[in-house]
Amino acid sequence: MGVFSADNPWVFISGLLGNITSFVVFLAPLPTFIRIWKKKSTQGFQSIPYVVSLFSAMLWIYYAFVKSGAFLLITINSFGCVVETIYIAIYIAYAPKQSRMLTLRILVLLDCGVFFFILLLVQFLTKGSNRVEFLGWICVAFATSVFAAPLSIMRQVIITKSVEFMPFHLSLMLTFSAVAWLLYGIFLKDLHIAIPNVLGLVFGILQMVLYAMYRNHKTAVIEEDKVPQHTVDVKKLGAVLNSEAEEISSSEPQIHDNDHHHHETIAESCKLQNQSRDHDDDHKIFELHNSNQMLGTCEA
């Protein structure tokens, strides 16, 4: 079979579509890392999904070289290795010391240690066609194991009855990616590529169904968070006015001092609330990227 599989053009077509959709999935976390770069802080974000994604891309590249004839696996996962390495480098540059050391330990253990161990097993314990089978089932086991990641987001959508954590366009691209790689595996007659993407297609369809069910529901969580914030501000303002009314007969300068002090307190409280709300919004977007990035790594 040639590099572009001239015997079966559908292999090339499905693989090309898989490259295009996976390209979009790999770039999905880009806005998050742009914010990290601008703010010079990871703000509690985690790096594990990107370390896992890098390992997955390395594993599929190795499988494509051992198998031969799966050139389109090499192209997209080579791009994935570059992108994930950049993401991890940005995270390490701006993460606190403890998070930075944890990321480096996982990176060395998984992407270097485990990958090198698999390479030794494949090279010295297998030969010929058995080598492809052995490595292929390792890829299937790893890809299938991380497909549980989207379950947390799907559970959150069901509980909150809101799709704010699951944008339609990203879920749609993940579904298209699973379909493309599933067809690629079928046309290439490779179960190791097809099997993980059956599960990816199932999760993609479930996300589409959940989006259709809850897209018109309003978010209750955000409204509950906002009510106490406004209530506290009103009470503080009421306390300030009452205090001013009681002390108006005693000292005019003292009134102005108290008024200035309380207004500064209220302004500072509002500022902290706005910062907290912006930070929460970043975390919501990042949680979605985390889950979808884990899903994207499984798609060949």
Please check whether residue 299 is in contact with residue 197, taking contact to mean a CB–CB distance below 8 angstroms. Answer: yes
Total of domains in the chain = 1
Q: Could you tell me if residue 259 is inside a domain? A: no
Coil, helix or strand at residue 68? coil
Q: What is the pLDDT of residues 130-146, one digit of tens each?
A: 899 999 999 998 888 77
pLDDT at 123 over 60: yes
Least-confidence region, from 201-205, 222-226, 244-248? 222-226
pTM: 0.71
Q: Which residue, among 107, 117, 113, 60, has the nearest Cα to 85 in the 3D structure?
A: 107
Evaluate whether residue 91 is within a structural domain. yes
3 occurs within a structural domain: no
Q: Check residues 230 and 173 and name the one with the higher pLDDT.
A: 173
Residues 6+ apart with CB under 8 A from 41: 94
105 within domain boundaries: yes
The stretch 162-171 carries a mean pLDDT of 77
pLDDT(169) > 90: no
Q: Judging by beta carbons within 10 Å of its beta carbon (0-12, 13-18, 19+), is residue 51 exposed, middle or buried?
A: buried
- 215, part of any domain: yes
Residue spans of alpha helices (H) in 95-219: 97-106, 115-125, 129-145, 150-160, 168-187, 191-214
Whether residue 277 is contained in a domain is answered as no
Question: Mean pLDDT in the chain?
Answer: 77
**Contact criterion met (CB below 8 Å) for 188 and 11:** yes
- Say if 55 falls within a structural domain: yes
pLDDT in tens, 267-287: 555 555 555 544 444 554 444
Q: How far apart are CA 148 and CA 138, in angstroms?
A: 17
Q: What is the pLDDT of residues 28-64, one digit of tens each?
A: 889 889 999 999 988 778 888 899 989 999 999 999 9
Higher per-residue pLDDT: 113 or 223: 113
Over residues 67-75, the mean pLDDT reads 89
Q: Could you tell me which residue, 256 or 84, shows the higher pLDDT?
A: 84
Q: What is the mean pLDDT of residues 200-215?
A: 87
> Residue 100 sits in which domain range?
9-220
Residue 258 covered by a domain: no
| 285 within 8 A of 32, measured Cβ to Cβ | yes
